[in-house]
A = this chain, B = another copy of it.
Amino acid sequence: MKRDRIEEIAELLDKRGKLTLEQLDEQFPNVSQMTLRRDLFQLEQEGRIIRVRGGAMSVKEVQKVSGEPYTKKTTIHTDEKIEIAQKAASLIDENSSLFMDGGTTAMYLAKELPDKNLHIFTNGLAVAIELAQKKNINVTMLGGQVMTENLSTASPVAKAYFDNTNFELAIISASAFTPDNGFSCGSQIEADLLKLARGKAKSTYMMLDSSKIGKIMPYTFAHIEDIDVLITDENFPADLKEKFTEKNIVVM
C-alpha cells in the first residue's frame, strides 16, 4: 500500500523530473498532503529524490541540470514538451515500427511511451537506453559518430543502414521553425539523417514546441508540406496553424 504509492511517486518523478506537491495531490486524491509529504521525506532519506520547496525533484533531473548545453536545454519548456510527448504517445499503435530522433522531446516521448509491442529505430543514445528499459519494445540503435552535445549519433553511412529496414512512421522534432525556412537543425549530418528517415517512413509526425517558432538553424530537413501531423503545445499561434491545416496537415 504505502510502498506502492512511494514507488509510484518515485517513478513519476523519474519521468517528470520535478513535481510540486499540488501535482502529487492531483495524482493521489485519496491520501492527504501530509502523507505525500511523508512519502517524499522517506524517498529523500533513501537518497532517491531531493526535496525542494513546493515539492521534489528526481536525482537524475538534478544531474542533468548540472551538465552541458544538451542538458540545459532539457530543463527549458519541460511542461510543453511533456504535453507534446503525451499527445505523440497516444498516436502510436501497437505492433508498429517507427523512427524517433535523439532530441530532448524524443526523450520525453520515450518516457511516456507505454510498454507496448513496438519496433523503434533511433539515433539517440539516451533515448535508446530509456526505451530498452521496456520489455516489449524492440530497439535498434543507428550507428555513427556520437555528437557530444545531444548524445545522438549521425553518420553518412546511415543510408546503407536504412536500406534494409522498414518503418511506417517517423516521429521527429526540430530545433527551429519558420514558415519560409521550414524545420531546421544545427548539424548537417543530422539533417541528412532526418531527411532520410522522413523519406523512408510512410508518414512523418513532427513534434515542435512553440518556443522553437521563429528561430532559424543552419540546416533545413523538412518543409511544411513534408509532414503529416504536427504535434505542438497550446501556445501554438492560430495564424500559423492555419498554414498547416490549409495543406491538410493535422495540427494537434
Chain A residues close to B by CB (< 8 Å): 47-48, 50-53, 57, 59-60, 62-63, 65-67, 69-72, 75, 125-126, 128-129, 131-133, 135, 138-146, 148, 151, 153, 155, 157, 160-161, 164
Contacts and interface: CB of A to CB of B under 8 A. Distances in A.
B140 A142 contact: no
Nearest 7 A/B pairs, CB to CB:
A143-B143, A139-B146, A59-B66, A47-B65, A62-B62, A141-B153, A142-B143
Contacts of A144: 140-141, 143
Nearest to A126: B129
Contacts of A53: 51-53
Nearest to A47: B65
13 contacts: A47-B66, A48-B66, A52-B52, A53-B53, A59-B62, A62-B62, A63-B69, A125-B129, A125-B132, A132-B151, A139-B145, A140-B144, A141-B143
B161 A157 contact: yes
Given A50-B50, A63-B62, A157-B164, A141 B146 contact: yes
Nearest to A71: B47
B146 A140 contact: yes
Given A47-B66, A129-B151, 17 more contacts: A48-B66, A50-B57, A52-B53, A59-B65, A59-B66, A60-B66, A60-B69, A125-B132, A128-B146, A132-B146, A132-B151, A135-B148, A138-B145, A139-B145, A141-B143, A141-B144, A143-B153
What number of copies of this chain does the assembly contain? 2
Contacts of A160: 157, 160
A140 B146 CA distance: 5
A52 B153 CA distance: 36
A115 B192 CA distance: 30
A93 to B, nearest CB: 21
A144 B144 CA distance: 11
A164 B144 CA distance: 12
Given A47-B75, A50-B52, A70 B145 contact: no
B72 A47 contact: yes
Nearest to A75: B47
A139 B155 CA distance: 12
B65 A66 contact: no
A37 to B, nearest CB: 12
Contact of A125 (B63, B65, B128): B128
